[in-house]
């Protein structure tokens, strides 16, 4: 045979599969690190299980249906200090106000950032402003809110005070809560929009649709799960916040309406939420009735668990197929003898 003749490649059936890599073949240090990885993963699970179980056991052992329907009262006799009906209503009101403002504003900003974003420098600044908002401690946001809303001309949001306005009410707390939910809504919506392939937009433009129509009729409907999960995450954050409530809701046990107008009066009045109720009844607060704190915290945790389940449901549906999990890809790659792809 002449030199330089092309040697045909070996037939594909004869591919030799490398032996599966064994952990036991690794150096000691690597094996140690591997064990540590497993240990931390399991520890995380144990911590979560521990927290949930502890709250379940403590919450259920002091559980009583009356706590949900009685208003709290400031007395040291635990049999008469009532339940957390007002706090539950307060949580609902604050969450509703915060979410109702944060959702449209957040979606609007996310759309502007991804679809328009002109001039680019302004988009950059807005982006970093969102980071600032996300990183700002909620207690600082609360102090800022107090400063702004105690101006006299904003007294219609709370109630009058010797100098200007009181600056504390459900409305004020709800509006300030917007600031902690907004970054989550913007982030999640933006993520969804960026993941949409550009052909979706191009197809719509090719049909002669304007950008505005494309956004409202094509883009936003297809990122609905992202928007929803951002909003739900934001709700969770609002429900769990204590610092803003303590400073901007007056910390009264019962919801106290201002004036005679039924709904507006409550919104302008003071009150409390579940988080504040937990704090008030913890040894650090004035009430110091830890049975009630446990039950309220249990209810709070249940709400968070439900919201969490919703988010999980929403995000699982939208994860693209190719991103099903690198863990699986690695499995296929490191263990070539393993079975069919999932």
Phi, psi for residue 251 in degrees, rounded to 5: 65, 35
Residue 139 binds another protein (CB under 8 A) = yes
- The helix/strand/coil state of 21 is coil
Minimum distance, C-beta of residue 316 to another protein, in the bound complex (Å): 9
Minimum distance, C-beta of residue 70 to another protein, in the bound complex (Å): 21
Residue written as token pair 């040894």: 283
Closer residue to another protein, CB minimum distance, 265 or 318: 318
Site for another protein in 159-178 (CB under 8 A): 163, 167
Q: Which of 87, 111, 219, 257 binds another protein (CB under 8 A)?
A: 111
Site for another protein in 30-49 (CB under 8 A): 30, 33-34, 36-41, 43-45, 47-48
Among 324, 331, 269, residue whose Cα is nearest residue 21: 331
Write the DSSP assignment of 268-314 as a string of letters: HSBB--HHHHHHHHSTTSSS--HHHHHHHHHHHHHHHHHHHHHHHHH
Site for another protein in 76-105 (CB under 8 A): 105
Among 222, 211, 212, residue whose Cα is nearest residue 189: 222
Calpha distance 280→82 (Å, rounded): 13
Closer residue to another protein, CB minimum distance, 137 or 221: 137
Stretch in the footprint of another protein (CB under 8 A) among 76-84, 92-100, 196-204, 272-280 = 272-280
- The helix/strand/coil state of 165 is strand
Residue 221 binds another protein (CB under 8 A) = no
Minimum distance, C-beta of residue 84 to another protein, in the bound complex (Å): 13
Q: Which of 132, 200, 217, 338 binds another protein (CB under 8 A)?
A: 132
Residue 211 binds another protein (CB under 8 A) = yes
Among 258, 289, 281, residue whose Cα is nearest residue 271: 258
CB 171 within 8 A of CB 202: no
Q: Which residues contact 70 (CB under 8 A, 6 or more apart)?
A: 82, 83, 85
Minimum distance, C-beta of residue 67 to another protein, in the bound complex (Å): 16
Residue 63 binds another protein (CB under 8 A) = no
Q: Which two tokens stand for residue 47?
A: 């911590």
Q: Which of 327, 337, 339, 341 binds another protein (CB under 8 A)?
A: 327
Closer residue to another protein, CB minimum distance, 41 or 160: 41
# chain residues binding another protein, by CB under 8 A: 105
């Amino acid at each position: 045979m002449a030199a330089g003749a092309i040697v045909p490649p070996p037939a594909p059936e004869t591919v030799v599969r490398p032996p599966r890599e064994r952990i036991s073949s690794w150096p000691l240090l690597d094996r140690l690190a591997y064990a540590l990885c497993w240990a931390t993963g399991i520890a995380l699970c144990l911590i979560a299980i521990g927290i949930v179980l502890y709250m379940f056991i403590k919450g259920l052992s002091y559980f009583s249906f009356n706590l949900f329907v009685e208003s709290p009262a400031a007395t040291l006799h635990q049999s008469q200090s009532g339940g957390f009906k007002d706090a539950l209503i307060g949580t609902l009101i604050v969450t509703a106000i915060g979410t109702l403002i944060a959702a449209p504003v957040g979606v609007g900003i996310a759309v502007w950032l991804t679809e328009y974003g002109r001039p680019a420098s302004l988009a950059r600044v807005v982006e970093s402003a969102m980071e600032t908002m996300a990183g700002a401690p909620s207690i600082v946001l609360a102090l800022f809110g107090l400063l702004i809303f105690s101006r006299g001309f904003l007294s219609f949001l709370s109630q009058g005070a010797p100098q200007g306005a009181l600056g504390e009410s459900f409305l004020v707390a709800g509006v300030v809560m917007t600031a902690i939910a907004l970054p989550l809504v913007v982030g999640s919506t933006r993520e969804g929009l960026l993941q949409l392939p550009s052909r979706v937009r191009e197809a719509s433009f090719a049909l002669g649709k304007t950008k505005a129509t494309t956004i409202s009729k094509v883009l936003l409907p297809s990122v609905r799960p992202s928007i929803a999960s951002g909003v739900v995450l934001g709700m969770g954050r609002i429900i769990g916040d204590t610092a803003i409530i303590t400073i901007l809701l007056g910390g009264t046990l019962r919801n106290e309406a201002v004036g005679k107008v039924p709904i507006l009066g409550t919104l302008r009045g003071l009150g409390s939420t579940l988080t504040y109720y937990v704090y008030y009844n913890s040894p650090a607060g004035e009430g110091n009735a830890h049975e009630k704190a446990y039950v309220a915290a249990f209810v709070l945790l249940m709400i968070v668990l439900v919201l969490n389940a919703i988010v999980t449901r929403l995000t699982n549906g939208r994860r693209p197929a190719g991103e099903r999990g690198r863990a699986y890809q690695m499995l296929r790659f490191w263990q070539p003898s393993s079975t069919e792809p999932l």
